[in-house]
Structure 1
Amino acid sequence: MNPLEAETDALQRFYDNKLAIEEARRNNPEATFDYNHPFALMTQAEFKAHVRGVMFKESRSAFRSVRSVQLNVSAPKAESVDWTTGDCVNPVRDQGQCGSCWAFSAVGAAEPAHCIVTGELLDLSEQQVTSCSTDAGSDGCNGGWPYAALTYASTTGLCLESDYPYTSGDSSMTGSCDSSSCTVQQLSIGETVRVSGEEALDTALNTQPVSVIVEAGNSVWMNYRSGIITQCPGAESDHAVVAVGYDDSSYKLRNSWSTSWGEDGYIRIKRGESGLGMCNVAEDVVFPQIGDGPTPTVSPSPTKPTTSPSPTSAQPDVCENCSGCYYPAGDMCLPDEYTKEDCDYYSDEFGAVWCGP
C-alpha cells in the first residue's frame, strides 16, 4: 500500500468508526464514547478478531465439567459492592496484542480470592498462565478460558509477575512455559466452581470478585469511554473480564485493555437484565471457592438425557416464534450457536426447550 492509499484507508477507518460511535451514542444514552483508545483505527472485523480470547464453542463443552454450585441467593446482600475500593484488587493490566484475556480474567479473580483469605495481595504472573495453562484447549495468545486457568493456578501455584513478567502483549507470541525458573506461590484458594444468572452473580460478588465471559467484540465496547452500557449489539460471548462489583443500576467490570480505555480500564454495564444479563455477563460465571466466605451448597449434577426432552403442552406456545433453543427464564430464543445438544443439557438445569429443527 503506497502512502496515498494508506492515508485513504486510515480516513475510511476513521469515518466508519465515527458512524459506529454515533450509533453507540444513540443506543446507549447513559454512556459516552470517543476515539481516544488503542483501537481507534481498527475496522470492526479487526477489532472483533483482536478481542476474541475465549474459544466459546470449545469452552461451552468444557464448562459442563465445572462443578455447578447453588448459592443462597435469598441471603442478605449489600446494596452496592466495589472490591476496587479495598486492598485486594491490583491495578488494571494491558493484555496487548495477545488473545490472553482468559488468563488476565483468571488471575484477576485468583489474586483477590487469595487476598481475602490471607490479607496478602500478590501480583501474579499472567505470562505463566498464558504460556503454561493448556488444559481444556487453552492455547495462549490464540485464546483459552478462565476455568482452566483458575484450576491451573489452584493446583500448580503461580509465580510473581516480577519473576515471570508479561511479554506476550508486545510479541503476540504465547511463549514457551518456563515456570521452573521462579518461586511458585501456593495460593489459598479452593476448587473452581460456576454459577449462572444475575442473582447468583450478585451473591458471589458479596464474597469475592469473579471471572465472567462477555460479549465485547463490538463497536460499543471498542469505543466506550464512561457511563453505563444499556445495549450490547450481537449475541456471542467472546471476551473474559473480572466482575468487581455492582450498584443499584450497573455491574462494574475490570478489563485488560489498559487504563487508557474506558473508566481507567473499567466498564459499567446495566444491571437487572433478564436471561443472560447485559452483554451476557451472567451466563458463564466462575470463581475459586474460599473458606472465608459462605460455602455454596452443591446443586445436583445434571444427567444429560440420551434423547431430547419430551415436549410438554406448553411447547407449541413457547416455540411459536423460536426455531432452536428456547430459554424460559429469559423468555428468549437463544442464538443459533446453541445446538440441540446444548439445549438438551440446559433442559435439566434451566428448563430449556428444543424447538427444532
Structure 2
Amino acid sequence: MAYSVYGYLFILLNLFQSKEFVCEDTDNSIENLYRTRQYDTVLQEDYVGDLHWEKFKREFNKSYASTIHENKARAVWYENLAAIKHHNSLNHTFQLRENHFSDMTLRQYLRTIVKLVKSEEHTHNETLPEHLRKHDIIIPPEIDWRNSGFKPDIPSQRRCGACYAFTIAHAVQAQLLIAKGVWEPLSEQQIVDCSGHWGNYGCGGGSLRGALRYLEAYGAMSYKDYPYEAKKSKCRWDKRRVRAKVTSWGLSPRGDEAALERAVALLGPIGVSINAAPRTFQLYHSGVYDDHTCSNKSVNHAVLIVGYSRTYWILLNWWGKHWGEKGYMKLKKGHNRCGIANYAAYVVMDDKKI
C-alpha cells in the first residue's frame, strides 16, 4: 500500500505516541504534534486532530481490526482531506468533501466498491426504438424524472459490488411508475443472488447485460418480499411474487449523447455504465463534475440517469446520502465524460404483468 510522504510522517507520529516512545516530560499528543509540526501546508490553517478523527469514525460508523490498521486508515484519511482542501481552493466546477470513502486509498476504493464486470462484446442492437427516432418528436431542453414522482429512497450498496443490480432494479422500477403509475421498489438482492448463470458474481460484481437478461427470463420481485442484505445468499426467487417483467431491452448507440438524451426524455431513467476511477469521483460532493482525467475509454461502475439540463446529466448513485448531492451527481454533458454514453440500457415493460 503506497502513501505519500505525509502519510508516512503521520504514521511515524503515531508511533511516537505508542508506549515504547513515550517521554514522560513531553506532551506528545497527536494534537500537539499537529500544532508544532505543521508539515502539511494545505491543512495547517484548518487544524485536524483527534477530535476530528473521532467524529469521522462516529459519523460513518468506522471501526478497525487493530491500532496499526487504524493508523494506516487515518493516514489515508488525512491525505484525502489535504487533497479535498487543495481541490476546493482551485477554480473547479465541482467540490469535494469528506465522506465514508475518505479512509480508503484509491486502490482500496476501486477493489471494494467499483466492481462492474465488463460485458461481452456488444451483440445487442444499438439503436433506439423506431418511434423514438422520428425527428418530429421534440424533446425538452431539460428534464428531471424526480419531478414526475421518481424519488426512491437513497440506497447504499455498502461493501457489496452490486451497482449492476441497483441500476437495473431502479431502471425497471422507473418504467413501472411511468408505464403503469405504480410505485413499487424492486429487489436488488434478487439480482445479486440469482443472476449468476447470466455472468454475474453477486457482491463480486456483475454487468448490466447479465442483470437485464436475468429479469427478462424471470421477472423482478419487490424489495418488500426480497430486501437487500449486502451479501450474496441462496436464490429465493418466487414466481408468485414477481411484480414486473422485462419484455425486452436495448442499448442506446455507443458514445452518442444526443441519442442518450432522447432516450432519457422519451423513455425515462436509463441505466448506464461509467468510469468512477478518479479520486475526485470517490470524494465528489457537489457541482458539475468535469474531471478531464475521467476517461471515456473504460467503465467500471453503473448508475441511473434520472434527468438532464442543457449542460449536465443528473445521476443517481448507490453510495448513500453522504456521497455527492445527497446521493446524486451532476455530470458534464457534451464530451462523453467518464464514458457516460458508452453503454446505456433502456427497458421495455410487459404490459400484462403487475
TM-score w.r.t. the length of structure 2 is 0.73
Aligned match of 1:178 in 212, 222, 236? 236
- The one-letter code matched in structure 1 to 2:156 is D
Structure 2 CA distance for aligned equivalents of residues 226 and 198 of structure 1: 22
Aligned match of 2:278 in 204, 215, 218? 218
SS across alignment from 1:245: strand
The yes-or-no answer on 1:20 pairing with 2:83 is yes
Task: Sort the Cα spacing of 1:28 and 1:119 in 2 relative to 1 into closer, same or farther, 3 A.
Answer: farther
Task: Sort the Cα spacing of 1:150 and 1:23 in 2 relative to 1 into closer, same or farther, 3 A.
Answer: farther
SS across alignment from 2:303: strand
Aligned match of 2:145 in 83, 88, 104? 83
Q: CA deviation at 1:7?
A: 4.9
Task: Sort the Cα spacing of 1:266 and 1:2 in 2 relative to 1 into closer, same or farther, 3 A.
Answer: closer
Q: Which residue of 2 aligns with 1:203?
A: 262
Q: Which residue of 2 aligns with 1:34?
A: 97
Structure 2 CA distance for aligned equivalents of residues 160 and 272 of structure 1: 36
SS across alignment from 2:184: coil
Which structure 2 residue ranges, 5 or more long, are not aligned? 1-63
Contact 1:27–1:230 (Cα < 8 Å) also in 2: no
Structure 1 CA distance for aligned equivalents of residues 85 and 120 of structure 2: 34
Q: Which residue of 2 aligns with 1:301?
A: none
Q: Which residue of 2 aligns with 1:44?
A: 106
Contact 1:156–1:186 (Cα < 8 Å) also in 2: no
Aligned match of 1:157 in 191, 209, 219? 219
Contact 1:164–1:182 (Cα < 8 Å) also in 2: no
The yes-or-no answer on 1:137 pairing with 2:196 is no
Task: Sort the Cα spacing of 1:23 and 1:185 in 2 relative to 1 into closer, same or farther, 3 A.
Answer: same
Q: Which residue of 2 aligns with 1:283?
A: 342
Q: CA deviation at 1:175?
A: 1.1
Q: CA deviation at 1:66?
A: 2.1
Structure 1 CA distance for aligned equivalents of residues 148 and 280 of structure 2: 29
Q: Which residue of 2 aligns with 1:10?
A: 73
Contact 2:189–2:226 (Cα < 8 Å) also in 1: yes
The structure with more radius of gyration:
2
Contact 1:51–1:216 (Cα < 8 Å) also in 2: no
State how 1:183-332 maps to structure 2 within 5 Å.
183-187=241-245, 189-195=246-252, 196=254, 197-207=256-266, 208-235=268-295, 236-273=298-335, 277-289=336-348
Structure 1 CA distance for aligned equivalents of residues 73 and 216 of structure 2: 45
Structure 1 CA distance for aligned equivalents of residues 232 and 114 of structure 2: 15
Residue by residue over 1:7-28, the C-alpha shift from the partner in whole angstroms, topping out at 9 and shown as x without a partner, is 5423321232134324644777
Task: Sort the Cα spacing of 1:67 and 1:24 in 2 relative to 1 into closer, same or farther, 3 A.
Answer: farther
Residue by residue over 1:124-145, the C-alpha shift from the partner in whole angstroms, topping out at 9 and shown as x without a partner, is 1110011011244111111111
The yes-or-no answer on 1:68 pairing with 2:126 is yes
SS across alignment from 2:319: coil
Contact 2:114–2:300 (Cα < 8 Å) also in 1: yes
Structure 1 CA distance for aligned equivalents of residues 172 and 65 of structure 2: 48
| Range with bigger deviation, 88-97 or 116-125 | 88-97
Structure 2 CA distance for aligned equivalents of residues 27 and 110 of structure 1: 40
| Range with bigger deviation, 4-13 or 138-147 | 4-13
Task: Sort the Cα spacing of 1:3 and 1:46 in 2 relative to 1 into closer, same or farther, 3 A.
Answer: closer
- The one-letter code matched in structure 1 to 2:328 is Y
State how 1:52-131 maps to structure 2 within 5 Å.
52-56=114-118, 59-61=119-121, 64-70=122-128, 72=133, 74=135, 75-131=137-193
Task: Sort the Cα spacing of 1:2 and 1:272 in 2 relative to 1 into closer, same or farther, 3 A.
Answer: closer
The alignment's C-alpha RMSD in Å is 2.4
Contact 1:244–1:253 (Cα < 8 Å) also in 2: yes
Task: Sort the Cα spacing of 1:9 and 1:147 in 2 relative to 1 into closer, same or farther, 3 A.
Answer: same
- The one-letter code matched in structure 1 to 2:339 is N
Structure 2 CA distance for aligned equivalents of residues 73 and 270 of structure 1: 26
| Range with bigger deviation, 151-160 or 20-29 | 20-29
Residue by residue over 1:196-221, the C-alpha shift from the partner in whole angstroms, topping out at 9 and shown as x without a partner, is 21011100001211000001122111
Task: Sort the Cα spacing of 1:96 and 1:3 in 2 relative to 1 into closer, same or farther, 3 A.
Answer: closer
Q: CA deviation at 1:151?
A: 2.8
TM-score w.r.t. the length of structure 1 is 0.72
Structure 1 CA distance for aligned equivalents of residues 178 and 283 of structure 2: 34
